[in-house]
Copies of this chain bind each other. A is one copy, B any other.
């Protein structure tokens, strides 16, 4: 094809094609670390246009870069070279009627997560995916990155919440896997394979998602814990004692609390005691007949009797609950405002969190003494956002970012965990994956990529490095 751009303009029309200044907002990733100017940004109106543009790009040798809300942290949704087209489904935002008897809903991939939450509110059913970026993140991007978030240990990650998918393949054909059933063993689980494939195997255009009943009551508490070991022990106790109800089991450190209180306006810490680590515990139930407050209160008593909980408060109002959650949610912002930072997205078996925190601190202080360590995240599934700020008085990490990343990813791997827990690999972590995962695993991934995208059209340079 002589001129791919005019071909794409013909397919997409004026509304569907952005270039020049209009395309700039799509060009760089959220952390502003990756992305070169593409030929343009395609904004197709429907699946047929997605299929046509993918085929046109493939024939013209142009790379196709699917982009959701562009809230990813690994640079997986922007172009690595200029001969590329970013595809945004921001015009495909239809939300179907929820199937209340079945607990499912069909949506287009451009739907923003918060918009889905809002659309479901009147129906008594919810989509149980919650994360900081939910105001911008789109369903397609959440599927592509297999998002997890703060409720994953109870409700699962995207791969656990996707029933059916429609995907435009790299050759422009459309896979119709839009089945609204949990049990479908008619062959390989394609619907799972596309979750977390980061746009390297195709473009998810529509999905059928699993819904859960909206809780009718909740109980929340903010706790000051003795230490990380105590937090882990208490978390295991809670899983047994309040397993069905446990909807949030978030943790953050005193370093992070300090940074958040220092930088984030109108943020208040209401307890008297400070400690090394804090837990945000939330129980929810669909039944009004469960004594949720009593269950949480007696769990707290147990924790205090055993010296695990140093101080704590149950939220007595929705406003107070929101304040508790804000302390956790402002962790990234507080650290960002402090200046230079390094993010690491780690998971370890939940029981090993305290050991990781301890061993990780030793590694970090060996690399750069005084480095301020700010771990926060999801105690229930062992997902630690292990973020660093430079030592007091330093503005940077003395060029040691790579050393931190290598040491911490090796430690997580050694402990049976992951160095890419919920943010994926994108462009940022391919080399790290090559170092931390065996050749068999990397070879398997390369084979899958080559099998489904032999022309290398879809998001080249993301997730897997091809030895070609």
Contact = CB atoms under 8 A, between A and B. Distances in A.
A183 B422 contact: yes
Contacts of A418: 179, 181, 183-186
Nearest to A193: B193
Contacts of A101: 232-233, 235-236, 349-352
Nearest to A184: B418
B433 A152 contact: no
A102 B187 contact: no
A287 B188 CA distance: 38
A279 interface: no
Interface in A346-392: 347-352, 378, 381-383
A71 interface: no
Interface string A219-244: 00000000000001101100111111
Interface stretch (A21-29, A77-85, A155-163, A331-339): A155-163
A99 interface: yes
Contacts of A244: 244-245, 285-287
Given A159-B192, A241-B287, A295-B289, A383 B444 contact: no
Contacts of A419: 186
Interface string A182-205: 111111111011011100000000
B190 A192 contact: no
A174 to B, nearest CB: 7
Contacts of A179: 416-418
Interface string A416-438: 11111111110001000100111
Interface in A436-467: 436-438, 440-442, 444-445, 447-448, 450-452, 463-464
How often does this chain occur in the complex, in copies? 2
A104 interface: yes
Interface core residue of A185, A189, A195, A348 (most chain B CB under 10 Å): A185
B236 A441 contact: no
Contact of A175 (B190, B433, B436, B441): B441
Nearest to A294: B289
Given A176-B440, A187-B464, A244-B244, 8 more contacts: A100-B236, A148-B185, A157-B182, A181-B381, A186-B436, A187-B425, A287-B290, A448-B451
Nearest to A378: B183
Nearest to A352: B102
Given A176-B438, A294-B289, A349-B99, A185 B423 contact: yes
A275 interface: no
A181 B348 contact: yes
A295 B291 contact: no
A31 to B, nearest CB: 17
B177 A383 contact: no
Interface core residue of A182, A193, A382 (most chain B CB under 10 Å): A182
A382 B416 CA distance: 36
